[in-house]
Amino acid sequence: MDIIKELPEIFEEFAEQKKQSFLEVKKCKDRHIPVIGAYCSYFPRELATAMGAVPVGLCSSSEETVKTAESVLPKNICPLIKSSYGFAISDRCPYFHFSDLVVGETTCDGKKKMYEMMAKFKPVHVMELPNSQSERGYEFWRGEVIRAKEFLEEFFHVVITEEMTRSAVHLNNRIRMSLKSLCEVMKLDPVPVLGEDIQKMVLGSKYRFDFQTTPELVAGVREKILKEYGQGKRQERRVRILVTGCPVGGDSLKVIRAVEENGGVVVATENCSGVRALSRMVEEGRWKELIREIPIKKGDFIQIEPGTVHAIKAHTLILETQQNSDITYRLYDYDRVQANGKKRELHIQKSLDVITVDGEEQPNVESTCGLPENVLNQIYSCEKYDIFKLTVNKEAVIDQKYPFLAASVLEGEGQIDGSPLGKGDHFIVPAGYGELRISGNMSLILSTVEE
């Protein structure tokens, strides 16, 4: 999507999105569209969107209602709870006012008590959270999600099918991934924009009820940021700060603002509403929609950038050139079952932590067939390594001027300085070897490092 507006105008529009959507949520009510309010990111928004409801984040990040809450709650209780409950009892949050139901969670004893009191004047369903990240905890939470689904079906007199849920999960994952990609522009140094601007986008996106267009809009903003960065529009180099500890939004944005008004820049927020929440993808099982298949043929070369999710299909033989690595993270295993009846371990979170390529660009596939014979043909070069293709027809003489040459025979047979070679053989030619004579009829791939 081409973004015509200037970036500061876009950021301010997202900053005002929460206020602008007050009228939108009223229109939803007028059209008898259910509205479900929540305070925590643990609430599975997918269940709400699956049944055609509008999920909204309830007001909880302003100190203006704290005194109101203190007329009922102890003064030493968490300010987040006092703000939330103050908005509720004073009826000053339009989203709370128009919500048909509030879905709560047992994140702390204070929240539990708040929901107990809130249930006296607003329908509330509380999801219980597991106390540990374990297999038992996972099964417990799975049961809570199912219980929430069944409650919504009974409360709103609807049926939430698996197909509806998968569709909602897919949409919400697209929104999360678009926002995660937007946040990752802050990896650039110097940064392209301020951290407060990124937070305006992330927080404001929660109040865009045109969910289908959000991923494309956010991607368009990201592209505009990167385009202008390439043109030299960027911030001066600043101290890079990570903000962590509590949800960011409303009055708490002043922390980010204070950092950036004093010469720093907030490059990430690590909390329940930051990059971690955006990375918490739900396992959909719709791999054919998420994985792009690229046709290949014998002799093709593909450069795979670091941080790219990649795999090969059956009946494919590849030669992989890379730096030494003892770690492989398995993101998906085609649901295969081992001899013991169990699936192999997946590393979902570890994979998400190192994925840096969003897959928007098509990898470049180049054929190495038809290159000149008996000479080293450089097929790829970067700051880390060089890769060559050598097709030997009778004899090739190579000057070994590199730190080393790691070679593999792709097909054919022959000799290297009198020693026999065949398909599948590998050898290393050390530095200072001098003139290298290879005879026969065969194809080889050779690689070396940059000096």
Supply the residues annotated as catalytic: 330
Angle at 399 between CA 397 and CA 402, to 5 degrees: 140
Angle at 96 between CA 86 and CA 244, to 5 degrees: 65
Beta bridge partner(s), residue 35: 54
Using an 8 Å Cβ cutoff, are 11 and 197 in contact?
yes
CA distance 208 to 56: 10
Distances (CA, A) of 345 to 136, 335, 342, 348: 17, 11, 9, 9
Using an 8 Å Cβ cutoff, are 78 and 60 in contact?
no
Residues 6+ apart with CB under 8 A from 117: 72, 85
Would you put residue 257 in left (φ > 0), alpha (ψ -120 to 50) or beta? alpha
Using an 8 Å Cβ cutoff, are 289 and 170 in contact?
yes
Q: Residue for token digits 């980010």?
A: 256
Q: Helices 214-230 & 162-183, crossing angle to 10 degrees?
A: 20
Other CB atoms within 10 Å distance of the CB of residue 423: 12
CA distance 74 to 367: 72
| Nearest-10 Cα torsion for 81, 82, 85, 89 | 180
